[in-house]
């Protein structure tokens, strides 16, 4: 995503169209655009050198389900991530509404504990959501602010490492399990691509796009057709919500093949927030946070 300059142009073009539609608050769209633009800069300035002693799983084990490198073992460029963290924190401090107050609280917590940002990055790598939920009690009006900051600022560095790691894996392979072959995390959204509508999953941590089987639940491996349902709403053309009645999970699927629109999963996830609310109201769950950490 960040290795292609076209994604940035596409983000800005689609954001302008979205702003006219009144689906999402303008402040949220502006924040997303600011964050995405600065993620690009951070991606280009992050070091993505793989440490010599990095232990990767053998490819045959990855094909049978072991991640190439568990997310908790991912190296990352701390300085570049820290810089982006403070750029985003400053932006939030200059915004209005509850998130401004949360940003000010986070800044004063960093003054008390200068290691807080490093700890937040490590907890994010370890997928320790408990840490962020407890911290969120200090910023009750926007409890996911620290998670948003940590995730958004470390992601470009992780993406640079992922681009290198991906070279070790077979390309155009159809994976037979739902988790990401690179890092082992769960996907946050899926898309149908190409003439035959190949199903691709998009990793919630390293953003790898990997092909997966069409009629299998990526969360519980259910294969019985009768267990799957989906719904669409006319306000969100090109999106559908796939649900699995066995594990009660749902996943949004992007299918822009009939539309004059290019998909960009990180923005597609934000654009279709209403569908998450609808799916939850129907009693279905999503095992991952949004692509933005909230
Ligand atoms: Zn991944
Ligand atoms: Zn399932």
Encode pLDDT of 101-146 as tens digits. 999 999 999 999 999 999 999 999 999 999 999 999 999 989 999 9
Note the pTM of the prediction, 2 decimals. 0.95
Q: Please give the Cα distance from 66 to 57 (Å, whole number).
A: 7
Asked if 226 and 207 touch (Cβ cutoff 8 Å), the reply is no
Q: How far is the CA of 93 from the centre of ligand 1 (A)?
A: 31
212 CA distance to ligand 2 middle (Å)? 14
pLDDT of residue 1: 84
For ligand 1, the distance from its centroid to the CA atom of residue 219, given in whole angstroms, is: 15
Alpha carbon of 293 to ligand 2 centroid (Å): 23
Q: Can you give the residue ranges of every domain in the chain? A: 22-166, 174-281
Nearest-ligand number for the alpha carbon of 210: 1
Say how many Å lie between the CA of residue 286 and the centre of ligand 2: 11
pLDDT at position 97, please?
A: 82
Q: Which ligand is nearest to the CA of 222?
A: 2
Sign of CA dihedral 20, 26, 28, 30: positive
Ligand 1 centroid from CA 182, angstroms: 5
CATH number for the region 174-281 comes to 3.90.1670.10
pLDDT at res. 294:
79
Which of 13-22, 56-65, 112-121 has the weakest average pLDDT?
A: 13-22
The separation between the first and the last C-alpha atoms of the chain, rounded to the nearest angstrom, is: 20
226-235 residue pLDDT tens: 999 999 999 9
Mean pLDDT of 7-25: 92
CA–centroid distance, 102 to ligand 1, in Å, is: 29
Furthest C-alpha separation in the chain: 55
């Amino acid at each position: 995503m960040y290795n292609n300059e076209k994604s940035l142009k596409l983000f800005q073009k689609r954001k302008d169209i979205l702003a006219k539609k009144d689906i999402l608050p303008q402040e949220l769209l502006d924040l997303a655009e600011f964050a995405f633009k600065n993620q690009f800069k951070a991606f280009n300035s992050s070091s993505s050198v793989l440490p010599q002693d990095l232990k990767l799983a053998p490819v045959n084990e990855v094909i049978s389900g072991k991640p190439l490198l568990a997310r908790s073992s991912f190296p990352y460029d701390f300085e570049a991530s820290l810089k982006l963290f403070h750029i985003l924190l400053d932006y939030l401090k200059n915004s209005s509404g509850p998130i401004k107050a949360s940003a000010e609280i986070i800044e004063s917590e960093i003054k008390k504990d200068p290691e807080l940002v490093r700890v937040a990055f490590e907890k994010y790598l370890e997928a320790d959501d408990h840490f962020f939920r407890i911290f969120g009690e200090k910023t009750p009006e926007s409890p996911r602010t620290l998670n948003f900051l940590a995730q958004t600022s470390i992601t470009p560095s992780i993406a640079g490492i992922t681009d290198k790691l991906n070279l070790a894996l077979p390309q155009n392979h159809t994976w037979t399990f739902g988790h990401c072959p690179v890092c082992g995390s769960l996907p946050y959204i899926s898309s149908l691509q190409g003439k035959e509508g190949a199903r691709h999953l998009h990793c919630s941590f390293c953003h790898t796009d990997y092909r997966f089987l069409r009629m299998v639940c990526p969360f519980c491996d259910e294969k019985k057709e009768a267990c799957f349902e989906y719904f669409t709403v006319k306000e969100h053309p090109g999106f559908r919500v796939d649900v699995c009645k066995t594990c009660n999970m749902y996943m949004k699927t992007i299918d822009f093949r009939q539309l004059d629109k290019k998909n960009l999963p990180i923005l597609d996830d934000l654009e279709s927030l209403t569908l998450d609310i609808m799916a939850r109201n129907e009693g279905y769950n999503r095992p991952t946070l949004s692509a933005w950490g909230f």
